[in-house]
Homo-oligomer: A and B are copies of this chain.
Amino acid sequence: MNGVGATKRLADTTLISQAVQSRLKSDILDGQFTPGSKLGTAMLQERYDSSVGTLREALSHLLSEGLVEMSAGRGYRVAPVSRADLLDVSALYIELEERAVVDSVRHGDAEWETEIVASFHRLSRIEALPREERIRRSSEWLACHRAFHLALVAACRSRWVLRVRAGLYDHMERYRLISQKHRPLSIHKRREHELLRDAALGRQAEEVGTLLRRHLAETTDTVLRYAPQFMPEPGEPGSD
């Protein structure tokens, strides 16, 4: 059965093309593909077990998220990374995240509070695990960390700020993961997350904004410091 295929579903209500897109995105963020490397259809077809058309649709979507690049007639490549791009992404991301969280704290309801408490708890549980276990389940940590930060800003009333922020989060995560390969192990900022949670629940909007800005700026600094390819070049000015 299912000879030529059509609308076959994997899990719940996800389409194949969405599943492929999601997996491909994870693999790019994860550093499974070297930045700048070619994404040939033959290779992808084998890796994700789907047809050219489906792959193309996924790639097309990732293209406008900025995770892959395309040149007409020459196929797709993984978007390159650079120190300049990291600084650029980071600056805009921090600004939008701060703006979103301030609005979110001011307008969040009871359900919003609950989700913050819940997602923080989930994150803590994973971070409390023994080192070995934590490494094995690192993708789970990623999801929880993402969920916690999303919960903080979830009540922001601007759909557009949230949308753009979401795209930038992906790029930030990619940089974090790339740099993580050159570090001992991620320095989990349990204490900072806790402060964020408490200030959010205490409705101290400005305070949360400041904490978050500092939290993110430190993250970017860490990435810059540990990944050799993001070291400032001799001739270039740092960030001025």
Contact = CB atoms under 8 A, between A and B. Distances in A.
Contacts of A72: 13-15, 18
A27 interface: no
Measured as residues with beta carbon below 8 angstroms from the partner, the interface class of chain A is 20 to 34
Contacts of A61: 60-61, 63-64
B160 A92 contact: yes
Copies per complex? 2
A88 B158 contact: yes
Interface stretch (A30-38, A161-169, A195-203, A222-230): A161-169
Interface string A153-182: 000011111011000100000000000000
A126 to B, nearest CB: 30
Contacts of A14: 72
A12 B146 CA distance: 43
Interface string A70-88: 0011000000000001001
A223 to B, nearest CB: 16
